[in-house]
Chains A and B, each alone.
Chain A
Amino acid sequence: MSESWLIQGARVLDPANGLDAVRDVHIVDGKIARVAESIAPEGLLVVNANGLVLTPGFVDLHCHLREPGFEYKETVATGTRAAVQGGFTTVCSMANTDPVVDTPATVAFILERAKDAAAARVYPLAAVTQGFGGTQLVEMAALSDAGVVAFSDDGLPIADARMMRHALEYSLLVGKPIVNHCEDPALAHGGVMNEGLTSLRLGLRGMPAEAEETMVARDALLARRTGAHVHIAHVSTQGSVEIIRAAKQQGIRITAEVTPHHLTLTDSLVAQRLHAGKGTGFAYDTHAKVKPPLRTEADIKALVEGLNDGTIDAIATDHAPHSTTDKLCEFSDAESGISCLETAFSQAYQLVQDGRITLQTLISKLTVEPSHVFSLRTGTLSPGAPADIALLDLEGTWTVNPSAFASKGKNTPIAGTTLPGRVALTFVDGRPVHIADGYEERGATQT
């Protein structure tokens, strides 16, 4: 039986089609049928979206769903539930599971779990090298056929330049990008935070910006030589932005993403005393430990410029859920990563409120642009596209409360912070999969 929905009266912002106007959106059988002014509601399930902004559901190029192997941190079910709470309807899951995603069987397992339990669309990445060993390529053709969208050894940088060269060359066979976490291990030298004044003051081993930048430069040159597509994960420094900008100007096939935390937080957070009052200061908050590390205001400025001039293609979360015990320890021993699918939009929306990027740019970097990076079919409201939709209340605010996260990962350095902008409703395949508290009355009325 066919099911028809009408979302009425929202400001529809669809960068893929250059649209920013009040429109009605008609959905039939889980697909966008039509976006137009005043569509007759007769016989349809109607959602009143007056005052809300309607965008394509967000596309996350980089998140960790942890299944198989680390189900105590996250599962496909909980991770995708967190995704839709945050407006993300497409998530690309990283390959650092146990076992590592390096065979079609593991890909099939994840897709099976997604079919059974996922609230959002899941596209897995596979490793570049077998078992993340860094020495032997995975079967890219078989994995591509099995459904992976890109290849990455995730947190393990491809340190060997010759290996990276061959990975890029071989990827031409399948036409899918190699994603690299750029961090030269020798320069990083076991650093646990950004190297700078804060690391010096705290006596923690820092990793310099150049650990990232030298590898970004290397990868840009190898992409130039091979003609293959390299995608730089979570760019965090000014120097990386400059290198990627120059590479794009030369026509090199290089794309890049940035996380909401690298756009909004600095390394000073590690030194921040969380509990005011003499003698009870607790600096060294392990929730602020992430790779790449939080950097400086100058880096944030460059990253924002990179978004504005097209150097950086996408905002990706690098959602990295961890259990309480993974973080409840000495700083150097703590796992790196931030659980942020549920906070990403609001964190990034702060930049819009501050006038540093436009709402159009923000939505573009969360929808059509990431979609293009991995050649996905979502991130647009074109007729016939899957009806994956986010409805945003830009006037709303909320306070980050990790215990209310859908994600198993409660690890966020911004607990207790009040953020602007709420994800009111999220649709996947034309059905509401998330309705935030206070927006229930927006739900469908049968006419």
Chain B
Amino acid sequence: MPLERKDLLDLDDFSSEEITLLLETTAAMTEILSRPIRRVPTLRGKTIVNMFYEASTRTRSSFELAAKNLSADLVNVSASQSSVEKGESLIDTMRTLQALGADMLVMRHWEAGAPYLAASWLHASVINAGDGWHAHPSQALLDLYTVQERRGAIEGLKLVIVGDILHSRVARSNLWGFGKMGARVVLCGPPTLVTPDILGIAENLPWVTISYDLDEAIADADVVMMLRLQRERMASGLLPSLREYAARFGLTQKRMRRARPNALIMHPGPMNQGVEITPELAYSEQAVIEDQVANGVAVRMAIFYLLAGTSERIA
């Protein structure tokens, strides 16, 4: 079954069958990554451009390695060293990269919706590598894959996402991804970051609930996903202090005991150890934070492979 899409912008309009296809393809890619020579010629001759308007280490490297493992040609562009600095518009930049031969554009942008604008103007595929507060679909896919790898299935699991939900593209995409695969999702954080409007979302999406009490939310959780707390939230009046945040919403061993015994701990990184998570838990048996990073490469290989619609077999 091919993936009949040009772009990967968010998971909100993906079916569970499409997500399953992506996860199954990821498993095949994981097998390639376990070989002594982790490279296949599948995308030889294809050009992929990483266009990053915003800083990124893990996501950019992950897409880069994924492209190279499939033998695609990869060009890295960052906004600070491109004609964006000279005031070129987004559409012009993207069309130029397409004219240079890009088959796929991986795009990270600080503004929500920017990849949608690009996608509507290009015949090349656009892969959203994170747009503002909006979406980060490849992160959600790698989170889904990591959980599925450990648990066998997503359906029926309870996922608790903790922290700055309001400003999190990771939370937004996981909300859709886990929901479509049959999980329950609890959004937990202080009311300034899980605003009462989010209650309205929960009313419309039956698999979502919200909570201001982590001790209560974490009970019987199968997966606990901690989000990074940006320090500027204090300066903008949303939180009084890191101390109070850590006391109420930090993940500690005591809290973790309320979750299911084999519950997984996830974090999209980069972590603030001692704020949202203790180092003991970050490096514990239950933590799958490094698995997430490792699986990211396979997930992105699967995304490239399926969007390329290539007839060539993976192996």
Contact of A203 among B4, B6, B131, B200 (CB under 8 A): B131
- A204 vs B9: C-alpha distance when bound (angstroms): 15
- A329 vs B197: C-alpha distance when bound (angstroms): 28
Cβ-based interface call for A172 (8 A): no
- A329 vs B87: C-alpha distance when bound (angstroms): 12
- Chain A contact-residue range equals 20 to 34
- A284 vs B114: C-alpha distance when bound (angstroms): 8
Judging by beta carbons under 8 Å apart, are A282 and B117 in contact? Answer: yes
Q: Tell me the A180-208 residues at the B interface (CB within 8 Å).
A: 195-197, 200-205
Residues on the A chain within 8 Å of B5, using CB: 278-279
Judging by beta carbons under 8 Å apart, are B120 and A330 in contact? Answer: no
Residues on the B chain within 8 Å of A281, using CB: 9, 13, 116, 119
- Provide the main secondary structure of the chain A interface: loop
Residues on the B chain within 8 Å of A333, using CB: 111
Judging by beta carbons under 8 Å apart, are B197 and A195 in contact? Answer: yes
Judging by beta carbons under 8 Å apart, are B119 and A203 in contact? Answer: no
* Chain B count of residues within 8 A CB distance of the other chain: 34
Cβ-based interface call for A283 (8 A): yes
Residues on the B chain within 8 Å of A331, using CB: 111-113, 117
Judging by beta carbons under 8 Å apart, are B198 and A200 in contact? Answer: yes
Judging by beta carbons under 8 Å apart, are B197 and A282 in contact? Answer: no
Residues on the A chain within 8 Å of B40, using CB: none
Judging by beta carbons under 8 Å apart, are A280 and B120 in contact? Answer: yes
Judging by beta carbons under 8 Å apart, are B117 and A329 in contact? Answer: yes
Judging by beta carbons under 8 Å apart, are B116 and A200 in contact? Answer: no
Judging by beta carbons under 8 Å apart, are B113 and A204 in contact? Answer: yes
Cβ-based interface call for A447 (8 A): no
Of listed B4, B117, B197, residue having the most chain A CB within 10 A: B117
Residues on the B chain within 8 Å of A280, using CB: 6-7, 119-120
Minimum distance in angstroms from A375 CB to a CB of chain B: 42
Cβ-based interface call for A226 (8 A): no
A-B contact pairs, 25 of them (CB 8 A): A197-B204, A201-B12, A202-B112, A203-B112, A203-B132, A204-B132, A205-B133, A275-B120, A278-B5, A278-B6, A278-B13, A279-B9, A279-B119, A280-B7, A280-B120, A281-B9, A282-B116, A282-B120, A284-B112, A284-B113, A325-B89, A328-B91, A330-B117, A331-B112, A333-B111
Q: Which residues of B contact A (CB under 8 A)?
A: 4-9, 12-13, 89-91, 109, 111-114, 116-117, 119-120, 131-135, 166, 169, 172, 195, 197-198, 200-201, 204
Interchain residue pairs A-B with the least CB separation, the first 7: A203-B134, A284-B113, A279-B5, A203-B133, A282-B120, A203-B112, A279-B6
Given contacts A278-B4, A284-B117, A333-B111, could you give 9 more A-B pairs where the C-beta distance is less than 8 Å? A200-B201, A203-B131, A204-B113, A278-B6, A279-B119, A281-B13, A282-B117, A284-B112, A331-B113
